[in-house]
Amino acid sequence: RRLVKVGLHWGSISKGTDLVGMAAQGDKSSALEDDNAQTAPIKFKILAGQSNYKLAEEVAAFLGMPLMQATVGRFSDGEVSVQLKESVRNVHIFVIQSTCPPVNENLVELFFMIRCLRRASAKTVTAIIPYFGYARQDRKTQARVPISASDVAMMLESAGTDRVLAVDLHCGQIQGFFHHTPVDNLTALRDIAPYLVREVIPNFKDDPICIVSPDAGGVARAKLFMEVLGKLGVCNLSLAITVKHRSSPGVVEGMNVVGEIEGKHCIIVDDMIDTAGTLCKSADTLMEMGAKSVLACATHGLFNGSALERIEKSVMSHVIVADTIPAKKNAPSKIKIVSCSALLAEAIACIQFGQSVSSLFEVRMTPVAQRISLADVQP
């Protein structure tokens, strides 16, 4: 393993370490040992869109490399402007862009960045989309409506995307909408779970904990989260489901709970929080049924409309989300953000050097700053 070649051990690399240089040095040492051959330098770059520039900077920092020089902005009439400031010929490019609100602007920006890279002769283009917009429109719910998630997939494929990396897609079948492009669907819940174990669950002492799915479609996600907590040493766990009765999209008339939650600390697990209306109503219902406390965990914090005000006034003690979407200004103190930059950096390393990404689904309590190691990935 190249980890040994560069004289490092697992967990010794922290944020800001020049991992790319160490990886190249490991290749060079190996080549000199084998008939004094010369090893070509690693040629990959990271291009950041404007939707979540801070996350892209953190990913690049973990990899020990700068972001690619480029100008991505708007013309005076609002049209998207993209200009690459350095050559990408025969280079592997990773484009980081969440298609969060404003969804259409960020999606078109991603499309033009991919097309620009293709015309500039990039070797491969991997679209890293932490939040995949239009994911909730994954099927026809009534007559004469589009399946927008599928159409977005067609759009990205036609642009020339070689690979897509997403975080907690709203539904797994979106991967099948890409007919010729492989899709890796990572989960940030495995980073959120260790945060809970370190910062929140110790306050529960020995009280029972109930993992609550907000709907039937999220049962698999809640069950996975419960299994992750179990592997991290959390005991006395159970599962419950809330069943909502909607009068129209986003409007909940009534709610029932399947499962025993009385006297337990409830953790609502979902993939995203939009206006937080349903989430706050679920929390109220759980407290009325005898829950000791309620908190929520979700990957994508959209927080549209009056979401922040609702959360501030809600009975929830914590709302924990990942940074797939930029944090809102003046967010209440209840909202805690867990970074997924280390997860994405590891994924880039695995993809670049042809390694399996299955290790990214393993549960680890190791601090994220000790988890990145390009030197541990053998090309």
Q: What is the rounded CA–CA span in Å between residue 68 and residue 87?
A: 10
**φ, ψ for residue 297 (rounded to 5)?**
-130, 130
- Tell me which residue has tokens 């990396």: 165
Q: How does DSSP assign 262-285, residue by residue?
A: TTSEEEEEEEEESSSHHHHHHHHH
Q: What is the rounded CA–CA span in Å between residue 353 and residue 84?
A: 25
User: Angle of helix 53-63 relative to helix 341-352, nearest 10 degrees?
Assistant: 60
Our answer to whether residue 244 is catalytic in this structure is yes
Task: Classify residue 284 as exposed, middle or buried by CB count within 10 Å of its CB (0-12, 13-18, 19+).
Answer: middle
Q: What is the rounded CA–CA span in Å between residue 297 and residue 193?
A: 9
The alpha carbons of the chain give a radius of gyration, in whole angstroms, of: 22
The answer to whether the CB of 266 falls within 8 A of the CB of 222 is no
- Map residue 246 onto helix, strand or coil: strand
Q: Which residues are CB-contacts of 176 (< 8 A; sequence separation ≥ 6)?
A: none
- Among candidate residues 223, 244, 292, 328, the one labeled active-site is 244
- Tell me the pairing of strands 209-213 and 319-322: unpaired
Identify any residues that bridge with 166 across adjacent strands, giving them in sequence order: 129, 185
Tell me which residues are annotated as active site.
244
